[in-house]
Each structure stands twice: as C-alpha cells, then as structure tokens.
C-alpha cells in the first residue's frame, strides 16, 4: 500500500512552527483607536467589550503602551461633540482627529504609522457616509468635495495615510488631486454592506437614521464587482487596498492578492471581534480561536490586518 505520511511534520510544537506556511508578527497589525472630542478620560464601549473611546490625553498613553508590544500602526476614528447636516466638523483644522494626529506625530514621529478614517458618517446627523439625494442614494460627486477637504486637513496635520471608507466612487482619485505626494492613500476598496459593522456603529454613534448603506457599499453576493473596485482604486493611485470585513470574505482577499503587489489590508470588523470575544468569555471557544481567525486572514493573502485584538496579541 502506498500513501504519504504527513504526521511527521506535526509531532511537536517546534516541528509545527518550522512547517508553518504563514505566521503572525506585530508588524502585520493595525489597531483602530476611537477618540471622542467630549471625553476627558477613556470610556468603555458597551457594544465592543474590551475596547474604549479615548480622550486626546489618554490616547497618547494608550499608544505608548501598545508600542511596547511591537504594534506601531494605528487607524484613528474621530467622534465629534456635535453632528451637523453638512458634516463640517470633519474638516475643521481644529477637529479632534487633527489634534490627535498632531499630538501623536509630535511625540512619536516615525516610530508610529498613523492612518485616519476619512468619512462623514460620524459627523452627519443622517449617519450616512455622505450627503444624500431625496431617494436615499448617495450624492457621490458632492460628497467627494467634502472628502477632499477632510483628507487635506488630515494631511496638513501630518497623518501618514488617509483611508477613505465611504465607498464613494472616485474617492482615491479625488483625494490624490489635493494631498501632497508624501501622504499615502489606503482605499477601503472592497467594503461590503455588512451586518458585522453593527457594534462599530454604536461605538462611533454613526448608525444611519434612515435607510441603510446598501445603495453604496458592496453587495455581499459579489466578488467580481469587489475586484473591479479594487482595480479601480489601484488605477486611481491607491498605495494600498483593503477588503472588509475579513473573515466572511476570505475568497475576495485571495483574489485581490492576485491583482496587486501593493499592501493588501483586511479589516476584521467589530462584529467579527464581538462574536469571538463573547464566545470565549462564555466558554464556548478557547482563546486560541483569535489566533486562528487571524492566521486564516493572513493565509488568504492579506499582508496587514486591522483588528481590535491588535493590542493584546502576545502569542506570536
């Protein structure tokens, strides 16, 4: 009888590590950070157990702590005191996000890589990612003008990367026109209309007050269309692209990988995080499930993973 013996490579932890096709390292990870303009100290987010909203002062201490683990990339989300119908607080040069960029870059310089979410959903009363037509669809080109202003303000404040997340057509090209060359663009290229964003919307208070985001975010049934979006962002000059959520869209990650050698990000979103955290807390899953979920994303082809677990990964 002829057959292959695979077990020999799996007998010990050392053998298994030596025979690993992929691994996880601190440089793979990006930690999302929420900063709230009205806070004086950190506040736990009920919808995202284990995650906080930070004040300007406390976010500096948080970054300092996380740097000790080797993770040095951060994605900043701002939450303003006041939402308006035009979202003007998003491009105020004195906005919470601008101040965070300035303070963190002054203190940590090149030690950290900062990315900012460029979107209107936390700043608009409607909770949508842009201005709306009467029928609830996005006023794409009018929104692009605002997105440009936000990106300009973040770039001037010194951010390393801007990440337009609103799924506006042409966002990367529009931003490219108005920001300096040294500021890079991470396209949220394949962002699906996902129910896994629920906890995030509670965390940043950006749930749409009417309708939903299906008129501009990708249909979860469509991988080919997602790849066309990735391609478009690359053609518009994105320095890196993203697939989001990660776990339910591993096929899209693998296919996007084949399109480019530029950094490919995957975002393990709030709902994926909460599902794991709760299952582990309740004893239904072991802690190792976190590692496995991240390894799967890496193996699918992502170079970088944005995850709320990035500040507590001590098991490389």
Examine the residue annotation and report whether 68 is marked as an active-site residue of this protein: no
83 is an interface residue for ligand PBG by CB under 6 A: no
Of the candidates 73, 184, 244, 255, the residue annotated as catalytic is 244
Examine the residue annotation and report whether 244 is marked as an active-site residue of this protein: yes
Q: What is the DSSP letter of 219?
A: P
Q: Which is nearer to ligand PBG, 66 or 119 (CB)?
A: 119
229 is an interface residue for ligand PBG by CB under 6 A: no
Nearest distance from C-beta of residue 124 to ligand PBG, angstroms: 11
Joined tokens for residue 248: 């339910």
- Choose, by CB under 6 A, the member of 39, 51, 129, 238 that binds ligand PBG: 129
Helix (H, G, I), strand (E, B) or coil at 183: coil
Q: Which is nearer to ligand PBG, 117 or 311 (CB)?
A: 117
Judged by CB under 6 A, the number of residues near ligand PBG is 12
Q: Are 182 and 99 in contact (CB under 8 A)?
A: no
124 is an interface residue for ligand PBG by CB under 6 A: no
Nearest distance from C-beta of residue 6 to ligand PBG, angstroms: 37
CA 105, CA 198: separation in Å to the nearest integer?
A: 31
73 is an interface residue for ligand PBG by CB under 6 A: no
Site string for ligand PBG, 188-227 (x = CB under 6 A): ---------x--xx-----------x--------------
CA 194, CA 60: separation in Å to the nearest integer?
A: 31
Residues 6+ apart with CB under 8 A from 253: 243, 246, 264, 266, 297, 300, 301, 302
Binding to ligand PBG (CB under 6 A) within 153-172 occurs at 165-166
Find the part of the chain contacting ligand PBG (CB under 6 A) among 61-69, 117-125, 250-258, 278-286.
117-125
Q: Are 285 and 279 in contact (CB under 8 A)?
A: yes
Q: State the residue number with the nearest CB to ligand PBG.
A: 200
CA 24, CA 2: separation in Å to the nearest integer?
A: 36
Nearest to 253 by CA among 268, 241, 261, 243: 243
Binding to ligand PBG (CB under 6 A) within 235-264 occurs at none
72 is an interface residue for ligand PBG by CB under 6 A: no
Q: Is the dihedral of CA 236, 237, 242, 243 positive or negative?
A: positive
Of the candidates 191, 231, 255, 298, the residue annotated as catalytic is 191
Q: Detail the DSSP E strand segments found in 26-134.
A: 29-36, 43-44, 52-54, 73-79, 113-118
Residues annotated catalytic, as ranges = 191, 244
The site for ligand PBG (CB under 6 A) is made up of 117, 119, 121, 129, 165-166, 197, 200-201, 213, 269-270
């Amino acid at each position: 009888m002829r057959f292959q013996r695979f077990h020999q490579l799996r007998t010990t932890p050392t053998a298994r590590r030596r025979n690993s096709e992929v691994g996880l390292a601190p440089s793979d990870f990006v930690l999302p950070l929420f900063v709230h303009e009205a806070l004086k100290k950190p506040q736990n987010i009920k919808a995202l157990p284990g995650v906080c909203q930070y004040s300007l002062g406390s976010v500096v201490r948080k970054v300092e702590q996380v740097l000790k683990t080797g993770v040095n990339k951060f994605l900043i989300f701002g939450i303003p005191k006041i939402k308006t119908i035009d979202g003007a607080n998003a491009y105020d040069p004195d906005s919470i996000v601008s101040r965070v960029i300035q303070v963190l870059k002054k203190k940590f310089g090149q030690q950290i890589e900062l990315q900012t979410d460029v979107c209107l959903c936390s700043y608009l009363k409607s909770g949508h990612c842009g201005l709306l037509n009467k029928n609830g669809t996005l006023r794409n080109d009018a929104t692009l003008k605002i997105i440009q202003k936000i990106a300009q303000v973040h770039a001037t404040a010194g951010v390393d990367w801007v990440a337009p997340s609103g799924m506006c057509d042409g966002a990367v090209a529009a931003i490219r026109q108005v920001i300096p060359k040294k500021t890079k663009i991470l396209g949220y290229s394949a962002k699906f209309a996902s129910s896994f964003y629920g906890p995030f919307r509670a965390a940043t208070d950006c749930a749409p007050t009417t309708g939903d985001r299906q008129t501009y975010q990708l249909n979860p049934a469509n991988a080919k269309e997602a790849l066309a979006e990735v391609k478009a962002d690359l053609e518009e000059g994105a320095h890196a692209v993203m697939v989001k959520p990660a776990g339910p869209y591993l096929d899209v990650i693998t296919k996007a990988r084949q399109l480019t050698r530029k950094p490919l990000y995957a975002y393990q979103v709030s709902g994926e995080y909460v599902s794991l955290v709760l299952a582990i807390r309740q004893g239904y899953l072991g802690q190792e499930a976190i590692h496995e979920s991240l390894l799967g994303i890496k193996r699918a082809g992502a170079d970088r993973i944005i995850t709320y677990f990035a500040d507590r990964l001590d098991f490389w």
